[in-house]
Amino acid sequence: MLFDSHAHIDDNRFDADRAAVITRAREAGLVGIVNAGACMESSARSIALAAEHAFIYAAVGVHPHDAEGTREEDYEKLASWTTKPKVVAIGEIGLDYYYDLSPREIQQQVFIRQLDVARQCNKPVIIHDRDAHGDLLTIIKKEARGLTGVLHCYSGSWEMAKEILKLGFYISFAGPITYAKDGKLKEVAANVPLERLLVETDCPYLTPKPYRGRRNEPAHVKFTAEEVASVRGMDFAVLAEAATANTKRLFAIS
């Protein structure tokens, strides 16, 4: 019953065995994968993957790493892509102050413009936030009114999570929840309302235990889900069913 709510299986690290990775996801019991765009090219690849595989869905957007190269026509292209039947969100978009691969001011501008595209197209957003909690929360409060979406691979505090939840957003957990020292993240996982919780891999990144250090893939989402269930003191099957239902509801997947 698991749904990987955020993956990047279009990444070139899957070029040699993408078909096998998708098969393993099916064999592991996954009912769906949302493949998130990170730039215009990867967004196009996500759409192609969704067209090829019934249980894969696409999100389209420009990651903050690539914000500096964004052109005006890209926003129009993103909007046009949302009319395709399996494009379920604008994402991933947001801020990344850890790597700062694009100037922060430009990251913010591109983030806000893509929030506007999502509003115009009536799509949820998938938000990336790394070391930018304050600015990100300020922008969401001001610029994301009327939108819904998810903070993927959540890394903030419980205090920030409460603000995000008040705004109607979901919170998604990835491999770092399985890393023993991250007590802050476990606190968030224990307290997020069950109806607002998603799980993901963010593959090929952030591989959970017991495969940490290797390339991540959608089949590994079960380890994240198992840890979230353990932290919450609940049955794994119940957690998996709820997280899958939440993913389908957020992305309007029947």
CATH number for the domain including 95?
A: 3.20.20.140
Query: Which residues is 94 bridged to in the sheet?
Result: 128
Question: Given this model, what pLDDT does residue 73 score?
Answer: 98
State the total domains in the chain.
1
62 DSSP assignment = -
Q: What token pair was written down for 24?
A: 């393993």
Q: Find the helix packing angle between 183-191 and 158-166, rounded to 10°.
A: 30
Is the pLDDT at 180 greater than 80, yes or no?
A: no
Give the separation between CA 215 and CA 148, rounded to whole angstroms. 31
Range of the domain at 110: 3-250
Residue in the block written with tokens 């205090």? 159
Is the pLDDT at 182 greater than 90, yes or no?
A: no
- Tally: H helices and E strands in the chain: 9, 8
Instruction: Write out pLDDT tens, residues 8-25.
Output: 999 999 999 999 999 999
* pLDDT band for position 125 (cuts 50, 70, 90): very high
86 DSSP assignment = T
Look up the pTM and report it: 0.98
Give the separation between CA 174 and CA 67, rounded to whole angstroms. 24
Q: Three-class SS of residue 93? A: strand
pLDDT exceeding 90 applies to what percent of the chain? 98
Instruction: Write out pLDDT tens, residues 199-239.
Output: 999 999 999 999 999 999 999 999 999 999 999 999 999 99
Instruction: Write out pLDDT tens, residues 62-105.
Output: 999 999 999 999 999 999 999 999 999 999 999 999 999 999 99
CB 21 within 8 A of CB 9: yes
Question: Given this model, what pLDDT does residue 102 score?
Answer: 98
3-class secondary structure per residue, 73-134: HHHHHHHHHCCCCCEEEEEEEEEECCCCCCCHHHHHHHHHHHHHHHHHHCCCEEEEEECCHH
Query: Considering the chain, what is the average pLDDT of its residues?
Result: 97
Residues 221, 223, 229: CA angle, nearest 5 degrees: 105
* pLDDT band for position 181 (cuts 50, 70, 90): confident
Instruction: Write out pLDDT tens, residues 41-63.
Output: 999 999 999 999 999 999 999 99
DSSP string, 159-223: HHHHHHHHTT-EEEE-GGGGSTT-HHHHHHHHHS-GGGEEE---TTSSPPTTSTTS---GGGHHH
Burial class (CB in 10 A: 0-12, 13-18, 19+), 146: exposed
Give the separation between CA 77 and CA 250, rounded to whole angstroms. 23
Single-letter amino acid code for the residue at 47: I
